[in-house]
Structure 1
Amino acid sequence: MDALTALHNRVSTGLLTDPAPSERQRQNIFRAALRAADHGCLRPWRFLVVEGEARNRLGEIFLRAAEQTEGGPLSDAQRERTLAMPLRAPLIIVAITRLQDHPKVPQQEQHMSTAGAVQAMLTAAYAEGVGAYWRTGALAYDPLVARELGLADNERIDGFIYCGTPQKPPRQAPELAVSDYFSSWDAS
């Protein structure tokens, strides 16, 4: 698939199953992340790859964080749902920003660079025929989750990228009118 086709047609694919992306597909997806816009060449991103049994361990971390936030045990249904979150896909990539003090690159731009890396991975996944979607939410920003995943004090999770084989063909990308989002600015 050529680059413009992937960029114009990429959509998130939520219903994922085995198999996980192959090693060749992974390398293409991972390499795409490394081309993200990166003011100052800080390379503020790093990624954790979670698969197999590690997904169950991640579910246990999610459960502990949710129970800590709620101040006690969850209902049985909430508990099952939380434990199953990482089982939605055979491969999860945790996107992390390593925040650095820099006189010309504010921390917000470092997060934006990681977001660019995630978008590049999502587009590469689409081009490879891999289903993928990006999730954030309270657990992405939970200090217990960060600590259990081994993040340093200057690191933040910017999301979880779920990857796998689509259970059905991707939906058609919506047709959007460019003119609805772009206009000329006249300085006079």
Structure 2
Amino acid sequence: MLVRRSSSKVTDVSPTHAEIVSVVEAAGQLADHSGLRPWRVIEIRGDARDRVGDGFAKAEGKKGKDAEKHRQKARRAPLILAIVASLGSKKVPRWEQEAVASGVAHNISLLLDEAGWGVFWRTGSLTRTKAVRKAHRLEANEELLGWLYVGGLPERARKPRARSRVKVEQHLSSL
């Protein structure tokens, strides 16, 4: 964890579906109030990424060349994993269900990084737009939290780089 870094530039290789299945299975083993598993992951590859880009463009009212820019954003990596909170419980607060889905996303990111893949997380206001929800075929009780873009690590990114460490005294206190 101390050497993990986001990789905003990735190559065109990506984990196989079988590798993603294994990663998602492991990532889902986290603390979860009432064992709800209020999340799902959408695996997006190939031309399906254009559906996501078209959703981005529609959400921002873009057409033509402007829409193509959004398609390119969705093609920044050969694999996109959309992280979805599936909110169903009245007993467990919504924020807790979204926190579990976020935890799964972070676990996936750590597992893929550990396996040598480049991973970067993207979020933003588009996640909650009607066009982007429709592009991902979300159910009424679901919220898109963001996307993990996944691909191979370029050679230059394989070299360990110094990273500033957390100043623990600023984030850890006692009562």
Both structures adopt the same fold (TM-score exceeding 0.5): yes
Q: Deviations for 1:58-94, whole angstroms, at most 9, x for unmatched residues?
A: 2122212221xxxxx4584x43321211100000001
1:102 and 2:90 matched: yes
1:128 and 2:115 matched: yes
Task: Give the direction of change, closer, same or farther, for the CA distance of 1:11–1:146 in structure 2 (3 Å limit).
Answer: same
TM-score, length basis structure 2: 0.89
TM-score, length basis structure 1: 0.83
1:174 is matched with 164
Please say if residues 85 and 98 of structure 2, whose CA atoms lie closer than 8 Å, have aligned partners that are also in contact.
Answer: yes
The SS at the match of 2:60 is helix
1:43 to 30, 37, 46: 37
The structure having more radius of gyration, on CA atoms, is 1
Identity between Structure 1 and Structure 2 (%):
30
2:60 is matched with 66
1:113 and 2:103 matched: no
The SS at the match of 1:97 is strand
Please say if residues 20 and 164 of structure 1, whose CA atoms lie closer than 8 Å, have aligned partners that are also in contact.
Answer: yes
Please say if residues 125 and 132 of structure 1, whose CA atoms lie closer than 8 Å, have aligned partners that are also in contact.
Answer: yes
CA distance in 2, matches of 1:136, 1:181: 24
Supply the RMSD in Å over aligned alpha carbons: 1.8
Query: Gaps spanning 5+ residues in structure 2: where?
Result: none
Task: Give the direction of change, closer, same or farther, for the CA distance of 1:173–1:26 in structure 2 (3 Å limit).
Answer: farther
1:148 is matched with 135
Query: Gaps spanning 5+ residues in structure 1: where?
Result: 1-6, 68-72
CA distance in 1, matches of 2:115, 2:86: 28
The alpha-carbon deviation at position 151 of structure 1 amounts to 0.9
**4+ residue segments displaced more than 4 Å:** none
